[in-house]
Structure 1
């Protein structure tokens, strides 16, 4: 079967399929707004088909020894899903879907050339910039193309707000007291991602990509990516994206000099600091709101409110109360054992021997740990998770090659050609 798909064909397919995973909602939104109606079933079928195609590429290229970690992660979550189903009496597949994206994209990254990763990021960055400029210059044109409010009403059940006269995603409207840079007067931008949170997450992942591959990029590409990130941050008024971009800028020099496996401490420290914010806050549930403070308290209070049985698998019975609550959702949907497995996967997947690997692995853990606090389940969205975990697979392979390549071979000029 592997002979049916040579390396050249794999490269061409992957450079098409990965961007499709990121932008397929934009494509469906265009169809929904201009050709014929799209429903939830079509969206789900499209995502399943794309993941199926990626998994099919993995199968026809043949499994490798390096595939053991993503396969093990998937196996643990299959077991976790079965256990939580037996304990709770409810079949909940969303946690498995989230991990399927992580595992399959890691497997693809392991097979992907670094050059193709650069192509994917450049293609998506160009597309994002193109539609971002349209959105900023002529919001009416952007809405005519994608009809975001109508798309989410038809496919997610998000009825169009009475205050939404523009036709954009409801939350992109913002409100007077929300954080804003004040550079752009219009609503928060969304570009190809249709909603502002995913666009902010794209900027964060693009920041991780930049610090990881900075020395491999041409000067023009560096200027282009930095400019795009800046435009996204200023136009979408993203708090999390801005904070993470600044952390990555700071971390370019700092991450490589940190002790090995420093990433072990990131998520525990995030939970501890958020717990302190909650304990020191006043107002209880009244403090919840679309502010940084409110989002932290919402997520961490729900985690602390879980009962012992919820950690063991019964949490799926209260999952509808935990949407957008980050760590609480992760634990309740997959049990504490599934949550710990994912944490260990993020810590140890990429051996942190080189400066490049340290920048990536610490950046990835910061992104996951901080994003899950303030924007809940968005870290699992195929629109952005695809890029993060494909990059993780590429980095895993690159680091394994450095470890297994003899020193005298690395010293040869042709090793860097």
Structure 2
């Protein structure tokens, strides 16, 4: 029986890791399939994503010893609200439902991950992303011909060929009209690696930076160095202005955040909205166009255009505002989902240890800094791993909080027989535990 239980745990861990890796790999895999002549469509991409999210939901909810009832209730609530707003609009929006369901789905999946499995998955994905990113900047023609990114987005995302003004097979934003921020004059384009577009590669870099801080005490010096250096290289490759700015802000703030109560993060979103409103009121956001101030101005203006139908999520017009991520989220989901999900994410305890505090403050601040000017953070390509790390910290906190004798470490059926063994990964092997 013990051997069967151990084998079942290994199988579950492997399945969780495969699903997590699939969130990063399914887009380039489909693009590669299209490049060799296989038929592609928007429905195929949506169906693939739906299967991944459904798999995460099934694995996440199937925890017989300690079901995550709170997150299961959140899933049911999101389904009910989606059905209600869809009935009012007389149109069901599967994409919007999928975008929001991936949050509890990957939190529950992350809660099942052991430290070793999460770290191995992170390191392998980061290595693969870096290798492909270096290949892309070294041989953009070969990379573009392999994945035919422009064709992929035309066939699956509703883009037109005229949108790709720079020409070639790379994504639209692979070049900026005003040039690169980093390595200006180098002649390099903005890289995208496995994410196929630069903004998501920038978001991935921030997620990895926060995950590295969360897992810091579990990593060897070798892996700490490797993750830091590779993240810096990816930031340069993608030339991400926002991602670089967020990383610098987090570098300054997270050492302070580790001493703040984790639920203090609930103030970030209302504080951000208040700051934007005051900045607009006092004339500090007068710029327009593709600058940071201009994007913030667009976000404030987008808030001003919201009407009651937008706030209730029942507007028949559900396009536009894509560059104002928070307003876009409200229009697609409703103010009730936006506020409810924010409260659930910030008030759910991830534990009072260093890792839980950094995870909560880091990811919630990242969301607040990105959402006003972009909806890219909602993409499964980067959001899934972020919420899985959040879920991992949530699962660890549940195990530590479980009363002695009730099988705290076995609450998900996946963990080794100690409460929270440090994992050291380095040159001597992938992982070793110490009591």
TM-score (norm 1): 0.90
Distance 2:80 2:323 in 1: 24
Report the equivalent of 1:94: 95
Report the equivalent of 1:363: 362
Distance 2:251 2:186 in 1: 24
Report the equivalent of 1:270: 272
Distance 1:396 1:382 in 2: 20
Secondary structure at the aligned position of 2:210 is classed as: helix
Report the equivalent of 2:225: 223
1:275: how far off?
Answer: 2.2
Report the equivalent of 2:33: 31
1:335: how far off?
Answer: 1.8
Does the CA-based 8 Å contact 1:351-1:399 persist in structure 2? Answer: yes
Report the equivalent of 1:195: 197
Deviations 1:168-220 (A, max 9, x none): 00122111167445274311110010000110010010011011111111111
Name whichever of 193-202 and 241-250 sits farther off. Answer: 241-250
Distance 1:414 1:340 in 2: 37
**Pairs within 5 Å for 1:397-408:** 397-404=395-402
Secondary structure at the aligned position of 2:355 is classed as: helix
Report the equivalent of 1:313: 313
Does the CA-based 8 Å contact 1:347-1:365 persist in structure 2? Answer: yes
Report the equivalent of 1:345: 344
Structure 1 residues 105 and 5 mapped into 2: Cα distance closer, same or farther (>3 Å)?
farther
Does the CA-based 8 Å contact 1:255-1:359 persist in structure 2? Answer: yes
Secondary structure at the aligned position of 2:223 is classed as: helix
Does the CA-based 8 Å contact 1:298-1:325 persist in structure 2? Answer: yes
Distance 1:283 1:202 in 2: 28
Give the superposed CA RMSD. Answer: 2.7
Structure 1 residues 292 and 350 mapped into 2: Cα distance closer, same or farther (>3 Å)?
same
More helix per residue: 1 or 2? 1
Distance 1:283 1:221 in 2: 42
Alignment of 1:237 with 2:239, yes or no, is yes
Structure 1 residues 177 and 13 mapped into 2: Cα distance closer, same or farther (>3 Å)?
closer
Does the CA-based 8 Å contact 1:263-1:361 persist in structure 2? Answer: yes
Distance 2:105 2:42 in 1: 23
Structure 1 residues 8 and 268 mapped into 2: Cα distance closer, same or farther (>3 Å)?
same
**Pairs within 5 Å for 1:202-217:** 202-217=204-219
Structure 1 residues 69 and 239 mapped into 2: Cα distance closer, same or farther (>3 Å)?
farther
Does the CA-based 8 Å contact 2:324-2:372 persist in structure 1? Answer: yes
Does the CA-based 8 Å contact 2:174-2:198 persist in structure 1? Answer: yes
Structure 1 residues 162 and 105 mapped into 2: Cα distance closer, same or farther (>3 Å)?
closer
Distance 1:282 1:255 in 2: 28
1:93: how far off?
Answer: 3.2
1:384 counterpart (378, 382, 393): 382
Secondary structure at the aligned position of 2:68 is classed as: helix
Distance 1:64 1:339 in 2: 31
Distance 1:42 1:312 in 2: 30
1:86: how far off?
Answer: 4.0
Q: What count of residue pairs does the alignment treat as equivalent?
A: 408
Name whichever of 208-217 and 78-87 sits farther off. Answer: 78-87
Distance 1:180 1:87 in 2: 48
Name whichever of 92-101 and 173-182 sits farther off. Answer: 173-182
**Pairs within 5 Å for 1:43-82:** 43-58=45-60, 61-63=62-64, 65-82=66-83
Does the CA-based 8 Å contact 2:326-2:372 persist in structure 1? Answer: yes
Distance 1:296 1:177 in 2: 21
Alignment of 1:114 with 2:109, yes or no, is no
**Pairs within 5 Å for 1:242-257:** 242-257=244-259
**Pairs within 5 Å for 1:264-343:** 264-281=266-283, 287-314=287-314, 316-343=315-342
Distance 1:282 1:305 in 2: 20
Secondary structure at the aligned position of 2:371 is classed as: helix
Structure 1 residues 236 and 280 mapped into 2: Cα distance closer, same or farther (>3 Å)?
farther
Report the equivalent of 1:42: 44
Deviations 1:294-317 (A, max 9, x none): 221222221232123432333x32
Does the CA-based 8 Å contact 1:300-1:327 persist in structure 2? Answer: no
Name whichever of 3-12 and 266-275 sits farther off. Answer: 3-12
Show structure 1 runs of 5+ residues with no match: none
Show structure 2 runs of 5+ residues with no match: 409-416, 422-434
Secondary structure at the aligned position of 2:318 is classed as: helix
1:269: how far off?
Answer: 1.3
Report the equivalent of 2:134: 133
Name whichever of 258-267 and 386-395 sits farther off. Answer: 258-267
Secondary structure at the aligned position of 1:344 is classed as: helix
1:366: how far off?
Answer: 0.7
